[in-house]
């Protein structure tokens, strides 16, 4: 795993003096104020942090014209109307039918524009996952995906996210995974699925036991989806190996999932809330988010990935090949933002392991190259191209 532990010095946070906002405080006006999901503690913390964040933005030299009021609002899946969910799904299927930008002679497994994103996650694994890059590079990656859905497939909304806590008790029966045509596809059929074994760790803590799926997703809009790239990491015993050693060959197969309650039991909002409120510096925040599987602490990041599991969702390299990936990493991005807002004066410009100021990430066919330090602010980062919040 590239997601390794962090050994750099701690960033000591100074208590910051917070100014009071001068105008009417900004409000998220979420649809979920009430049915079907009441606001959870993390939602309330987010709302309560806005005034402080707004004051910080007001003092900031430049946000390239982006403000909380003008920012795009990324919504939770359950807060979208059925029509909005269907529009999103249509755009994803559209992306899966557009020609790729990557060179298919070099990368024969890339069958469509969606696969450009999967390929990028595979070839740019270090750019996306080295310790200082995980948060900013995924922020750029999700933004580029949202942009492609909008600009190349006419989607008029923004990337939805998955508030894990809402589905923790029974993910397979949530509006995200229930398998109807306005969900992101159903569970996999029951299969001889071994559960999750991570590399390098020993029993009993290296396993999330199988739930009732593991086979091909047979219901919903992605039941005909063909996965082509990978696998690269070790996933399941019976997935045909990629014809190329590097995993970039054409390996057509169904989308498989094991929507897993053992993994999702570690995704109740209390885990997210304590992660945000207890981590005092960015190294600790990232470390706690990634968990310590060797101590049976999966962390919300891995628990989310393994609530999906299967193939390619269970493969570290190819996981964006399951269209639910973007919802999960959207939530990771969201809680990083909420963590940042708790003390914006000290938290908006810090990265784990403090890379050099000229450090960059390059997402090739999906987003190109960007300075890592310019990816930390969703309000005005990436040269002003970032202008969004989570509601
Ligand atoms: C703030 O912005 C102004 C105008 O763009 C610029 O001249 C100035 O150098 C900036 N100050 C800082 C501290 O970045
Ligand atoms: C694609 O890659 C092949 C093999 O490396 C190369 O010969 C070809 O020129 C490339 N095509 C384009 C359009 O770059
Ligand atoms: C799909 O599931 C959602 C959430 O449970 C529900 O609101 C919607 O009515 C369902 N649609 C159909 C066609 O069953
Ligand atoms: C799957 O493919 C079959 C056969 O081509 C088609 O009839 C069906 O509508 C497709 N289902 C979905 C959800 O795209
Ligand atoms: C979090 O909440 C769940 C569900 O209510 C509960 O089972 C679990 O023990 C709680 N965990 C912690 C660490 O508070
Ligand atoms: C992808 O990014 C790397 C790192 O910057 C660069 O060396 C490589 O040339 C890029 N490849 C493509 C196809 O853009
Ligand atoms: Cu990733």
Domain ranges of the chain: 80-390
Residue that has been written with the tokens 């390929």 in this structure: 119
Nearest CA to ligand 6 atom 11: 364
Tell me, using a 6 A CB cutoff, whether residue 195 lines ligand 4: no
Query: Would the pLDDT of 292 be above 60?
Result: yes
Residue 151's CB is within 10 A of a number of other CB atoms, namely: 9
Element (H, E) at 217: strand 214-217
pLDDT value for 199: 55
pLDDT digit string, tens, across residues 362-382: 999 999 999 999 999 999 999
CA 114, 119, 125, 126 dihedral sign is: negative
Ligand 6 centre to CA of 359 (Å) is: 15
Q: What 3-state DSSP class applies to 197?
A: strand
Of the listed ligands, the closest to the CA of 103 is 2
pLDDT value for 21: 43
Q: What angle do CA 41, 328, 159 make, to 5 degrees?
A: 95
Q: What is the mean pLDDT of residues 80-86?
A: 95
pLDDT digit string, tens, across residues 21-33: 455 668 887 765 5
| pLDDT mean across residues, the chain | 90
pLDDT value for 16: 31
Nearest CA to ligand 2 atom 7: 105
pLDDT value for 24: 64
Element (H, E) at 74: strand 72-74
Q: Which residues contact 202 (CB under 8 A, 6 or more apart)?
A: none
Ligand 5 centre to CA of 284 (Å) is: 21
Contact 307, 259 (CB under 8 A): yes
Ligand 5 centre to CA of 146 (Å) is: 33
pLDDT digit string, tens, across residues 204-215: 546 788 899 999
pLDDT digit string, tens, across residues 91-101: 999 999 999 99
Q: CATH assignment of 80-390, given 3.60.20.10, 2.60.40.420, 1.10.1280.10, 3.20.20.140?
A: 1.10.1280.10
Cα separation, 302 vs 309, in Å, equals 10
Nearest CA to ligand 3 atom 4: 175
pLDDT value for 2: 34
pLDDT digit string, tens, across residues 28-50: 877 655 567 889 999 999 999 99
Ligand 5 centre to CA of 336 (Å) is: 21
ω into 312 cis (within 30 of 0): yes
Cα separation, 92 vs 222, in Å, equals 10
User: How many Cα atoms sit within 13 Å of 163 on the Cβ side?
Assistant: 23
User: Which residue in 117, 85, 111 sits closest to 98, CA to CA?
Assistant: 111
Confidence of residue 236 (pLDDT cuts 50, 70, 90): low
pLDDT value for 7: 26
Query: Would the pLDDT of 11 be above 90?
Result: no
More confident residue, 23 or 360: 360
Of the listed ligands, the closest to the CA of 169 is 5
User: Which residue in 149, 152, 109, 123 sits closest to 361, CA to CA?
Assistant: 123
Nearest CA to ligand 1 atom 2: 61
Query: Would the pLDDT of 134 be above 90?
Result: yes
Tell me, using a 6 A CB cutoff, whether residue 136 lines ligand 4: no
Quick one: 382 exposed, middle or buried, by C-beta within 10 A (0-12, 13-18, 19+)? buried
Tell me, using a 6 A CB cutoff, whether residue 270 lines ligand 5: yes
Confidence of residue 19 (pLDDT cuts 50, 70, 90): very low
Tell me, using a 6 A CB cutoff, whether residue 353 lines ligand 6: no
Nearest CA to ligand 1 atom 1: 61
Q: What is the mean pLDDT of residues 194-204?
A: 62
More confident residue, 271 or 12: 271
More confident residue, 10 or 140: 140
Q: Which residues contact 218 (CB under 8 A, 6 or more apart)?
A: 179, 186, 188, 189
Ligand 2 centre to CA of 102 (Å) is: 10
Question: Considering only 125-134, 143-152, 266-275, 289-298, which range has the smallest mean pLDDT?
Answer: 289-298
pLDDT digit string, tens, across residues 90-132: 999 999 999 999 999 999 999 999 999 999 999 999 889 999 9
Query: Would the pLDDT of 263 be above 90?
Result: yes
Of the listed ligands, the closest to the CA of 62 is 1
Residue that has been written with the tokens 């590079």 in this structure: 137
Confidence of residue 148 (pLDDT cuts 50, 70, 90): very high
Contact 184, 176 (CB under 8 A): yes
Atom of ligand 4 nearest to the CA of 220: 13
């Amino acid at each position: 795993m590239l997601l390794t532990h962090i050994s750099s010095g701690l960033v000591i946070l100074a208590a910051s003096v917070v100014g009071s906002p001068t105008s009417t405080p900004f409000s998220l006006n979420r649809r979920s104020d009430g049915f079907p999901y009441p606001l959870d503690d993390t939602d309330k913390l987010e709302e309560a942090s806005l005034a402080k964040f707004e004051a910080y933005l007001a003092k900031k030299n430049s946000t390239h014209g982006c403000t909380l009021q003008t920012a795009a609002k990324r919504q939770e899946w359950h807060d979208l109307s059925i029509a909005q969910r269907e529009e999103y799904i249509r755009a994803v299927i559209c992306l899966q039918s557009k020609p790729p930008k990557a060179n298919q002679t070099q990368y024969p497994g890339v069958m469509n524009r969606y696969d450009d994103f999967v390929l990028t996650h595979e070839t740019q694994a270090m750019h996306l996952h080295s310790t200082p890059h995980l948060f900013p590079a995924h922020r750029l990656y999700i933004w580029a995906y949202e942009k492609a859905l909008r600009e190349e497939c006419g989607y008029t909304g923004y990337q939805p996210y998955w508030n894990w806590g809402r589905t923790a008790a029974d993910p397979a029966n949530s509006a995200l995974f229930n398998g109807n045509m306005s969900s992101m596809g159903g569970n996999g059929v029951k299969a001889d699925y071994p559960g999750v074994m991570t590399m390098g760790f020993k029993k009993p803590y290296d396993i999330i036991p199988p739930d009732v799926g593991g086979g091909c997703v047979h219901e919903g809009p992605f039941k005909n989806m063909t996965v082509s790239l990978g696998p690269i990491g070790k996933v399941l015993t019976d997935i045909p190996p990629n014809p190329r050693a590097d995993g970039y060959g054409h390996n057509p197969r169904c989308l498989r999932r094991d929507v897993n309650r053992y993994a999702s039991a570690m995704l109740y909002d209390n885990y997210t809330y304590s992660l945000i409120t207890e981590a005092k510096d960015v190294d600790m925040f990232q470390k706690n988010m990634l968990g310590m599987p060797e101590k049976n602490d999966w962390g919300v990041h891995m628990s989310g990935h393994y609530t999906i599991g299967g193939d390619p969702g269970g493969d570290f390299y190819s996981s964006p090949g399951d269209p639910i990936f973007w919802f999960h990493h959207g939530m990771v991005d969201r809680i990083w933002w909420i963590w940042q807002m708790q003390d914006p004066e000290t938290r908006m410009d810090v990265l784990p392991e403090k890379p050099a100021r000229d450090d960059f990430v390059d997402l090739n066919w999906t987003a190109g190259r960007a300075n890592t330090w310019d990816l930390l602010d969703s309000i005005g980062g990436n040269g002003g191209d970032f202008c969004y919040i989570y509601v």
